[in-house]
Amino acid sequence: MTLKSWHVITALVVASAVLVAMELPADTRLGTAALSLSSGVAAFTLMAAASVLGARWSWVESRFGGLDRVYQVHKWMGVWALGLASIHLVFKAGMPGWDTASILALSGGWTRFLRQFSFVGLMFIVVLALNRNIPYGQWRLWHKLSGPLFVVVVLHWLSFKQPLALASPAGAWLLAWSLLGVVAAFYKLLLYPHVASHAEYRVVDQHRNQSGLHLQLEPVGRGLDFTPGQFGFMRMEEEGLREPHPFTIASGGDAGRVDFVIRPLGDFTRKLLAEAKVGMRATVYAPFGRFDRNRTARREVWIGGGVGISPFIAWLQDASANGFDKVTLFYFYTPGREFPDVSVLEAMARERGAELVPVRSGASDPAFVQRFAEICRSGDPAGVDVAFCGPKGLMAQVRARMQDNGVPAANLRYEHFEFR
């Protein structure tokens, strides 16, 4: 079972509330003071847990079913942490009759400053993370402050007068999450570039048009081991192109080669499209993702929208795979902006014995609606496995077509198309 956002957030919020209630007098557990204190502890815990998710540890990725899922949970943890911190700020987290003391004694001015700075800093980080209009490079630079901000939040917890003694279960809970959060934050900030799985590559071939760029890279030394369809963070070792960005690996893993199919969707990718040259060096941090092919399915339907075609290119190029005669690949594209070209995909599919269905005008296109219905009618719809990578809007329409044709919703497997 993979963990989902509501599983983790609910568990952490409930655990925080229960541990706080254990330390309070029974007649005060339902008041606004208890609500404020519980909300503060839950917000603190969610911030620490978000820091752990942001470290990109492989064991964490495995529990959530892929780094794309980890990033989604990370985002919602930040949103809920801000909401709970707002409740903590509005109501006073104390009342007469509580036995309170600070763990770390600071002057009153510093205690108040840490409290206010913690909230403002959290609000800034969350709003920044949700703002899609900020260029990725600026977003990434500012988001690095979330680690130092968590240290400020820890100091806020230690310095304000509270009824949660360090030796109590609630105190031990907060201490454990403090250590986890701080270690994760500074691992990501300082150690990750050096100790995470990565390798140096050199660009050996590139093809481009106005719609995209296909980069082929070979390892300078030892390459990375990956499963076709996984993704990596590529950092070009060139001035102005050093921002690491996530791209699906569009190659089958042969001889350590790594291919990326890149669409010019932002400032960085447009610059990369214009300036990429053979001979450039790049560092690739990989592998990430758990978007694997279901080879045991009776019938496989692959659906790629735009640059979401990349994992399916990798699956087609997987030399160790077979069973392509039961595969139908639907390629959704905008005429004039397709990359790679439909003819290239047709040649790949023909070579492996798979069926390619180009779709020019969305999920209502008869090319998709009719062929998908035929596939479902040709056998038990419950045996049709649907693998999807593309925009959210397209995925909603694919779900509707599945429902219309009796394909169980659980048969849809997908990778989140966007991290931000």
Residue 33 lies in a domain: yes
Same domain, residue pair 77 and 98: yes
- The 10s digit of each residue's pLDDT in 43-79 is 999 999 999 999 999 999 999 999 999 999 999 999 9
The continuous run of DSSP H or E covering 216 comes out as: strand 212-219
Distance CA 257, CA 225 (A): 10
Distance CA 83, CA 190 (A): 29
Same domain, residue pair 156 and 206: no
Last residue of a domain, one of 288, 317, 339: 288
- The 10s digit of each residue's pLDDT in 64-73 is 999 999 999 9
Same domain, residue pair 132 and 28: yes
pLDDT band at 136 (very low <50, low <70, confident <90, very high): confident
Q: Return the pLDDT at 133.
A: 77
pLDDT band at 258 (very low <50, low <70, confident <90, very high): very high
Quote the mean pLDDT of the chain.
Answer: 93
Q: Is the pLDDT of residue 420 over 80?
A: no
pLDDT band at 419 (very low <50, low <70, confident <90, very high): low
Same domain, residue pair 260 and 191: no
Q: What's the token pair of residue 191?
A: 């150690």
Same domain, residue pair 269 and 215: yes
Q: What CATH number has the domain bearing residue 45?
A: 1.20.120
Same domain, residue pair 29 and 153: yes
Residue 19 lies in a domain: yes
Same domain, residue pair 204 and 159: no
Last residue of a domain, one of 242, 265, 288: 288
Q: Is the pLDDT of residue 112 over 80?
A: yes
Count of residues in the chain = 420
Which amino acid would we find at residue 7?
A: H
Q: Return the pLDDT at 291.
A: 93
Alpha helical stretches, state H, 58-107: 58-64, 67-90
Which amino acid would we find at residue 227?
A: T
Distance CA 339, CA 349 (A): 15
Q: Is the pLDDT of residue 253 over 80?
A: no
Q: Are 363 and 398 in contact (CB under 8 A)?
A: yes
pLDDT band at 97 (very low <50, low <70, confident <90, very high): confident
Q: What CATH number has the domain bearing residue 205?
A: 2.40.30.10
With a pLDDT cut of 70, the percent of the chain lying above it is 98
Distance CA 6, CA 315 (A): 32
Q: How far apart are the first and last CA of the chain?
A: 25
368: left (phi over 0), alpha (psi -120 to 50) or beta: alpha
Domain span holding position 110: 5-195
DSSP notation for 241-302: ----EEEEB-S--GGG-EEEEE---SHHHHHHHHH--TT-EEEEEEEE------TTSSEEEE
Q: Is the pLDDT of residue 163 over 90?
A: yes
Residue 355: strand pairing partners: 328
Q: Are 52 and 7 in contact (CB under 8 A)?
A: no
Same domain, residue pair 108 and 255: no
Q: Return the pLDDT at 255.
A: 61
- The 10s digit of each residue's pLDDT in 337-364 is 888 899 999 999 999 999 999 999 888 9
Last residue of a domain, one of 288, 307, 325: 288
Residue 90 lies in a domain: yes
Total number of domains in the chain: 3
Residue 70 lies in a domain: yes
Question: Is residue 246 reached through a cis peptide bond, with omega within 30 degrees of 0 on the bond before it?
Answer: no
Beta-carbon count within 10 A of 368 CB? 22
Q: Return the pLDDT at 417.
A: 66
Distance CA 34, CA 344 (A): 63
Residue 420 lies in a domain: no
Residue 294 lies in a domain: no
Same domain, residue pair 169 and 58: yes
- The 10s digit of each residue's pLDDT in 14-23 is 999 999 999 9
Beta-carbon count within 10 A of 293 CB? 22
Same domain, residue pair 330 and 388: yes
- The 10s digit of each residue's pLDDT in 198-249 is 999 999 999 988 889 999 999 999 999 999 989 999 999 999 899 899 999 9
Distance CA 36, CA 86 (A): 9
Same domain, residue pair 152 and 45: yes
Three-class SS state of 30: coil
With a pLDDT cut of 90, the percent of the chain lying above it is 80
Same domain, residue pair 394 and 255: no
Beta-carbon count within 10 A of 119 CB? 18
Q: What CATH number has the domain bearing residue 341?
A: 3.40.50.80
Q: Are 253 and 218 in contact (CB under 8 A)?
A: no
> What's the mean pLDDT in 296-301?
96
Q: Return the pLDDT at 59.
A: 93
> What's the mean pLDDT in 254-273?
87
Cα 397 to Cα 331, 335, 337, 367, 401, distances in angstroms: 15, 20, 21, 14, 6
Q: Return the pLDDT at 135.
A: 76
Q: What are phi and psi of 108, to 5 degrees?
A: -55, -35
Residue 312 lies in a domain: yes
Q: Is the pLDDT of residue 311 over 80?
A: yes
- Is 315 exposed, middle or buried (CB count within 10 Å of its CB: 0-12, 13-18, 19+)? buried
Q: What's the token pair of residue 197?
A: 């799985």
Which 8-state DSSP code applies to residue 190? I
Q: Return the pLDDT at 374.
A: 97
* Assessment of whether the complete model's pTM goes beyond 0.85: yes
